[in-house]
Amino acid sequence: MANFSGLKYLFFLLLILAVPAYAYSEIIVNDTVALSGEEILIKVETKSGYFAKGGKIVEFSVNGKSIGSVLSGGDSIAYKIFKTGGPGMYTVSARCGKDTGSGVILVLKKNSKLVFIDIEGSLLAVPFAKKPINSSREVIRKIMNSYPVIYLHTGNIGLREVREWLRQNRFPVSAVLSWQTGDIFTALNKKGLKIKAVIGSQAVFDSANANKPEFFGFDEEDSSKNIKAWQDIEKKLR
């Protein structure tokens, strides 16, 4: 698995190098998971190609409605306070001059059971393949009918590149969060959210093991945890 993980890292690296910097949005809106009625900070990064640019006015809107403007700091980060309403997927947009970016806020009820999908550990068909594993997209849509889904980014390449790969391959929209070697599970657990299942690598599962989730992996050393196809996951999560 170690060699395969390295090749997947190189795949995303080549994906970045193949696309010029100007092709990327210069406004990066971080996705967020929040509870209904929670006051959160929406985080936006302002960049010029691969470089930060601070001291810029950033205009924020949620679901098409303006929530005001903020001046980004010298670190290129702009924060905006926002209080969520009822459960659902909120679209966040940010504008800085002519540049725009977007992200989502996944708003949930307390005690919601979540399904986490390790992007690099479960969606790539083979190293360097631009296409995902067969049926993964369709099964994720069906899972979303029963459970909220959160995508986990576990590699070293930026979130925006991974989000672009998901978009190009027409995966259903949801929050894409950094794994942070398991810190994300702790943070969401403190909000009162539950981990129903983890789909991906053994390392990601181990970091969530204290929450006793179901685990579905591909090509794991423990054959009892192996899943041959995404359709098997759909059946087990019904």
CATH number of the domain that residue 73 is part of: 2.60.40.10
Sheet holding 194-199, edge to edge: 176-178, 149-153, 113-118, 194-199, 214-216
3-state helix, strand, coil in the chain (%, to 5): 30, 35, 35
The domain in which residue 93 lies consists of: 25-106
CATH number of the domain that residue 205 is part of: 3.40.50.1000
- Nearest residue to 192 via CA among 40, 84, 34: 34
Confidence of residue 126 (pLDDT cuts 50, 70, 90): low
Inter-residue contact 226 to 219 (CB < 8 Å):
yes
Q: Kindly state whether residue 197 falls inside one of the protein's structural domains.
A: yes
The total of structural domains in the chain comes to 2
Q: Kindly state whether residue 20 falls inside one of the protein's structural domains.
A: no
Cα separation, 195 vs 118, in Å, equals 13
Cα separation, 230 vs 237, in Å, equals 11
Question: Does residue 150 share a domain with residue 32?
Answer: no
**Average pLDDT of the chain?**
85
Q: What is the pTM of this model?
A: 0.85
Question: Does residue 57 share a domain with residue 7?
Answer: no
pLDDT above 50 (res 95): yes
